[in-house]
Structure 1
Amino acid sequence: MHETVEAVKQVADASDQQAQAIEKISISVEGINSISHESAVGIQEIAKAAEDLNRLTENLNNLIGQFKTEKQKSNLEYQKVI
């Protein structure tokens, strides 16, 4: 009888340990889920910033294209002479 009681106690202890381990795993999974969500939001923000930077670069290139350098002016004047 004593052996049976001891076996039941060991099973109960093992069950408690498993429940604690499952709780820790659950907390860890929730943490991973939270980090994954934060990463996804960060990636979306980076993508938006990259799109904005690309648009600004295109605008800057268009503005720079409106200026003529002295060399370009000389070439245009030379072409007019020819």
Structure 2
Amino acid sequence: MAYHTTNRRSTGKTPFSIAYGTEVIIPPHITVPSIGIKVGSIEQNSEQMRINRDLLEGEREKAIVRVTSYQQRLKSYYDKRAKIR
């Protein structure tokens, strides 16, 4: 559960949010319930999930750009310190 709820350095997002388009909510039996989690109706939840699904492709594209940038920075860092034989 911790892996799925922690932001990755390379993408800036959680693996769960990239896959499903929404942040994961930890089950209440694991944590103490808070007022911050609003329980709405099924219709509101379905509508919000539809909106999140529509925005998911854009979030994935942003993650791809960020991963590419991260990889370029890693390569640059490595190339500065690599010794040619």
Q: Does TM, scored on the shorter chain, surpass 0.5?
A: no
Rg larger in 1 or in 2? 1
TM-score bracket for this pair, using the shorter chain length? 0.3 to 0.5
Structure in which a larger fraction of residues adopt helix:
1
**TM-score between the two structures when normalised by the length of structure 1:** 0.39
**TM-score between the two structures when normalised by the length of structure 2:** 0.37
